[in-house]
Amino acid sequence: MKKQEKSFSFLEQFLPPGSYQQVAPFFDTHAIHLTITNERKSVLGDYRHPVRDAPYHRISINANLNPYSFLITLLHELAHLFTYVHFQRKAAPHGKEWKTQFRHILIPFLGKKYFPPDVEKALFAYLHNPAASTCTDPHLYKALYRYDEQRPGYALVDDLPVNQYFETEDGTVYRKLEKLRTRTKCMNMVNGRMYLFQGIMEVKITKKRPQPGV
């Protein structure tokens, strides 16, 4: 489906209440082409620096994000913008320069009640070493996930009880066995093999109990 461009004031419906007034000045001081687009599985947002045929900063954000994820993603991409303004192509995409810019941009949004307490607590921890995506920080990801529009019958692997059966996107059924330090051990109920899952993976809860293959 074709991407849709939105006026900057239209951002208010995507952001936490009251936060647009703090976001708006970024668009007053920089030439930004903002696009609100459909869900992309691989990225939540994207930044492109100015080029000859497009002499402005280009930012795109997924429209399906909850307000807190949307604001964090927008600030993430604005940090790329400021990193480019200050360092051009000399800085790594998510190197120390970007981390500094992201902290500088995000911190003024904390303590303003834009974020729920659990999300803000996770954000403070995340700021010690911001990553390329919120999906790489399980605590922040799980805090934000609670405010997504939940799909009935789905849950994160971490939130499933031991011995719960679940189904992945390809229809394979597993049983949750044991939570390890960073992953969860699960049994494939078709071939009987053990697999390690990330705890933040969303899966479909099922009562199916196919027997392991011989």
* 165 close to 120: Cβ distance less than 8 angstroms: no
pLDDT tens by residue, the chain, 214 residues: 344 444 578 899 999 999 999 999 999 989 999 999 987 777 899 999 999 999 999 999 999 999 999 999 999 999 999 999 999 888 888 899 999 999 999 999 999 999 999 999 999 999 988 877 777 789 999 999 999 998 999 999 999 999 999 999 999 999 999 999 889 999 999 999 999 999 999 999 998 665 655 4
Report the C-alpha gap between 118 and 197 in whole angstroms: 24
* 14 close to 36: Cβ distance less than 8 angstroms: yes
Annotated domain spans of the chain: 4-145, 154-206
**DSSP labels, 147-181:** TS-PPTTEEEGGGSPTT-EEE-TTS-EEEEEEE-S
Residue 58 CA to chain centroid, in angstroms?
19
154-206: what fold? Answer: SH3 type barrels. (2.30.30)
CA-based R_g, the chain, Å? 20
pTM above 0.85, yes or no: yes
What pLDDT does residue 10 have?
A: 87
Report the C-alpha gap between 197 and 194 in whole angstroms: 10
In sequence order, the 6+-apart residues with CB closer than 8 A to the CB of 211 are 189
Report the C-alpha gap between 41 and 118 in whole angstroms: 25
What pLDDT does residue 122 have?
A: 95
